[in-house]
Amino acid sequence: MTPARTTAVPRPAGSADDLLPTLPGSWYTDSRVFAREREHLFEALWICAVRAADLEGPGAFRTVQVGRESVLVVRDRDGGLGAFLNVCRHRGARLCTEESGTVRRTLRCPYHAWSYDLEGRLVAAPHFPRMPEAVRAGRGLVPVRLREWLGYVWLCLADEPPSFEDTVIAAVTERLGDPAAVERWDIERLALGRRVTYDVRANWKLLVENFMECYHCAVIHPELTGLLPEFAEGYAAQYFVGHGAAFARDARGFTVDGGAGFGRLPGLTAEQDRRYYAVTVRPQVFVNLVPDHVIWHRMFPVDADRTVVECDWLYAPEVPASGADLERSADLFHRVNTQDFAACERTQLSMGSRAYRTGGVLVPSEHHIGDFHRWVAARVPAPGDADAGTGPGAS
Ligand code: FES
Ligand code: FE
C-alpha cells in the first residue's frame, strides 16, 4: 500500500519560495518568551508526566515539573492515581522535594507537619484539633486533572483542559493514519528495559524541530541511516501519514549493528513489521515504534536554554525479565539521542548571535517545521517590540 502523504513532496524549483523563514533567534533565548511558552503551552495543554508503572503500590509518588508548577502524582489505596499541586495549603511549603518515593499513609509537610491523605484531603494539623470541618475540607491539596493513556500519566493544569481525544489522541492518529494502529503495540503492557535522562543545553523547540526533520539524518546518524536507508534522502518518516520507514534488506533487527533484536510484539500486523514509525505529540512527547520495542521520550523544559529529556525503552515484559542483554537494542537510539542533542546544543550556541537575529531558513524537506512554528506563534503572545524584539518570522 502506498502511504498517503500529508503534502506533496516539495520539488525544489530553485526559487526563493523554497526557503521559508524560521522563528527569530530571540524565541530560543529570551526568558520572557520562555515564561509565555510555559504559561500558554505547558500549563494549557496535556503533558505526559510519568509512567504509571513507576508508581507501584499505595503511597508511591513522583514529583514532576509542569510549566512553572511542581506536581505530585500519587498512587492511592485503591490503586488509582491522583495528581496535586505540590504545595502545602498551610503556608505554602513544597510538600515533597524528592523526585520519587513512597509514603505509608499520609503526605506530611516537613514544615509544621500538616498531613494529607493519599486522596489529598487534609487529615491532621498539629495543635489545632478543633479546625472546623468546613475549613479542613477547603484546605486539601489542589487537584490537577489526570488521564492515563498508553501506560503514561498525562496532566493538564488548565481550568478547562482541551479535549484529550482531540489533541493527544488525534495527534497520534493523524500521524499513524488509523486510531487503532498505536494500540497494536499494547504499550501499557510493556516493561521498562532502560531509562536514560538527558540534560540538554538547548531550547525545547530546537529538540522538537530536530525530531521532526531528517535533513540531518545522513550527516549525523550513520547507524540509523544504515538501518533505514530512505532516511538518507532527507525526508523524515513523520512527513507522511501512516508511513513507517522500511528496514534495510540485510538488517535483522532495530539494533545498533543491524543484528537480531527480539521477537515481534504479538499485536503487530505484518505491515508494521520491519518498519520504524515516529510520532510527535506537541508540545513534549516523541515516540518511536519498532517491531520489538517502543522508545518514549518526555521532554521537560527547565529554562530557555535547557531541557531535560527522560527516555524510556519499553519491551515485552518477558524480555527484560529473562535477563536478555538489551545493550545492542537500546544503544541504537541512545546514540541517535546523543547525536541529536549535540546538534541541538551546537545550534543553541548561536541563537543569541546577531547573525540569527531574524532567524534562519527551512529547506523544502523541513517546510512542515513551519507548521510547528505557526502552532507556537498562534498560542504564545509575541513579545512586544518594547520588551523582546522581533516577533515570529514564520507566521
Ligand atoms: Fe506546610 Fe506549614 S507550610 S505545614
Ligand atoms: Fe535525528
Taking the CA of 234 as reference, the closest ligand is: 2
Residue 128's pLDDT is: 87
- pLDDT-based confidence at 12, cuts 50/70/90? low
Residue 17's pLDDT is: 76
Q: Which ligand 1 atom is nearest residue 95's CA?
A: 1
Residue 101's pLDDT is: 97
Q: Domain 47-149 belongs to what architecture?
A: 3-layer Sandwich (2.102)
Residue 237's pLDDT is: 61
CA 86 to ligand 1 center in whole angstroms: 12
- Atom 4 (ligand 1): residue with closest C-alpha? 112
Residue 388 has pLDDT above 50, yes or no: no
Measured from CB, residues less than 6 Å from any atom of ligand 1 are: 88, 90-93, 109, 111-114
Q: How many CA atoms lie within 13 A of 268 on its CB side?
A: 21
Torsion of CA 293, 234, 170, 19, to 10 degrees: 160
Of 78-87, 238-247, 352-361, the range with the lowest mean pLDDT is 238-247
Q: Which ligand 1 atom is nearest residue 92's CA?
A: 3
CA 336 to ligand 2 center in whole angstroms: 6
CA 221 to ligand 2 center in whole angstroms: 7
CA 306 to ligand 2 center in whole angstroms: 18
Rounded distance between C-alpha atoms, residue 118 and residue 121, angstroms: 7
Residue 133's pLDDT is: 86
- pLDDT-based confidence at 384, cuts 50/70/90? low
Number of Cβ within a 10 Å radius of residue 75: 21
- pLDDT-based confidence at 390, cuts 50/70/90? very low
Residue 73 has pLDDT above 50, yes or no: yes
Residue 2's pLDDT is: 31
Give the mutation target among 85, 86, 88, 97 for probing the ligand 1 site: most ligand atoms within 8 A of CB: 88
Q: Name the β-bridge partners of 47.
A: 155
Residue 135's pLDDT is: 85
pLDDT tens digit sequence for 266-282: 999 998 999 999 999 99
Please give the grid coordinates belonging to residue 96: 515533597
- Atom 2 (ligand 1): residue with closest C-alpha? 112
pLDDT tens digit sequence for 50-68: 999 999 999 999 999 999 9
Q: Which ligand 1 atom is nearest residue 88's CA?
A: 1
CA 83 to ligand 1 center in whole angstroms: 19
pLDDT tens digit sequence for 196-229: 999 999 999 999 999 999 999 999 999 999 999 9
Q: Which ligand 1 atom is nearest residue 91's CA?
A: 3
- pLDDT-based confidence at 179, cuts 50/70/90? confident
What are the structural domain ranges in the chain?
A: 20-43+179-379, 47-149
- Residue 13 burial (10 A CB sphere; 0-12, 13-18, 19+): exposed
Give the mutation target among 95, 114, 115 for probing the ligand 1 site: most ligand atoms within 8 A of CB: 114
Taking the CA of 340 as reference, the closest ligand is: 2
Angle ∠(190,163,315) on CA atoms, nearest 5:
10
- pLDDT-based confidence at 83, cuts 50/70/90? very high
Q: Which ligand 1 atom is nearest residue 112's CA?
A: 4
**CB distance 280 to 174 below 8 Å:** no
Q: Name the β-bridge partners of 116.
A: 107, 122
Of 123-132, 297-306, 329-338, 378-387, the range with the lowest mean pLDDT is 378-387
The listed CATH number (3.90.380.10, 3.40.190.170, 3.30.470.20, 3.30.70.270) that belongs to domain 20-43+179-379: 3.90.380.10
The pLDDT mean for the chain works out to 91
pLDDT tens digit sequence for 221-242: 999 999 999 988 877 666 677 8
CA 94 to ligand 1 center in whole angstroms: 8
For the chain, give percent helix, strand, coil, nearest 5.
30, 25, 45
CA 219 to ligand 2 center in whole angstroms: 9
Q: Which ligand 1 atom is nearest residue 113's CA?
A: 4
